[in-house]
């Protein structure tokens, strides 16, 4: 029978930290596509820190006129997220209850369409429905005046949306922090400003 000594355990963690350095993956969107992404922080084997990213370019954006203002509606199919790890993507489907709620939905508060032409707004308020729970959010937006594309993000927590951060073996093998970034890139729809 093999016995594990304290020095063997320390050696294992030392070697693991050398071969698995701290990774920080940025959110990189493909050019010319409407996309969203999630990013979180994960500890692996108590020694390695990762920042996995899940990208989804299968989103549907529509605008709905309400008098002189417009609402933006975004449907994000949960099955469209790709993190480069099929096992992780399957866990995302489970965590977000995709069998009952196949889409994440965002509906903005009504906006003046003229603001989009001038590079405004800098923030977009609305409600995000995740796994059947609706939560008010404010997205930070960056849009250049000479561009029809906008980018933005929200830094939040899993628990804000009623989602428990996942872990493996009680967090000993892997544990996701209660930290969540949501990012988007989208072409601003052509909106009448009459």
Ordered domains of the chain (ranges, CATH): 23-187 (2.40.128.110)
Positions in the chain whose pLDDT score sits under 50: 1-24, 190-194
**CB within 8 A of 176, min separation 6: which ones?**
40, 41, 42, 158, 165, 166, 167
pLDDT at residue 46, as a whole number: 66
Among candidates 63, 56, 42, 157, which has minimal Cα distance to 107?
63
The pLDDT of residue 113 = 78
The DSSP code for 25 is P
pLDDT of residue 44: 79
pLDDT of 150: 87
Q: pTM of this prediction?
A: 0.79
Distances from the Cα of 84 to the Cα of 78, 88, 118, 123, angstroms: 15, 8, 37, 30
């Amino acid at each position: 029978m093999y016995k594990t000594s304290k020095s063997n355990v320390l050696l294992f963690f030392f070697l693991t930290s050398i071969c698995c350095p701290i990774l920080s993956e940025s959110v990189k969107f493909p050019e010319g596509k409407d996309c969203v992404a999630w990013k979180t922080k994960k500890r692996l084997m108590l020694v390695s820190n990762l920042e996995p990213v899940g990208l989804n370019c299968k989103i549907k954006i529509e605008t709905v006129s309400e008098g002189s203002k417009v609402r933006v509606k975004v449907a994000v199919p949960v099955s469209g997220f790709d993190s480069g790890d099929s096992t992780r993507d399957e866990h995302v489907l489970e965590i977000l209850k995709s069998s009952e709620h196949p889409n994440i939905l965002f509906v903005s508060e009504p906006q003046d369409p003229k603001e989009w032409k001038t590079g405004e707004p800098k923030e977009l308020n609305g409600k995000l429905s995740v796994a059947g729970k609706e939560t008010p959010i404010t997205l930070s937006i960056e849009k250049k005046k000479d561009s029809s594309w906008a980018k933005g993000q929200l830094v939040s927590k899993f628990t804000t949306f009623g989602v428990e951060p996942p872990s493996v073996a009680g967090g000993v093998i892997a544990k996701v922090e209660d930290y969540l970034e949501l990012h988007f890139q989208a072409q601003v729809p052509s909106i009448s400003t009459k």
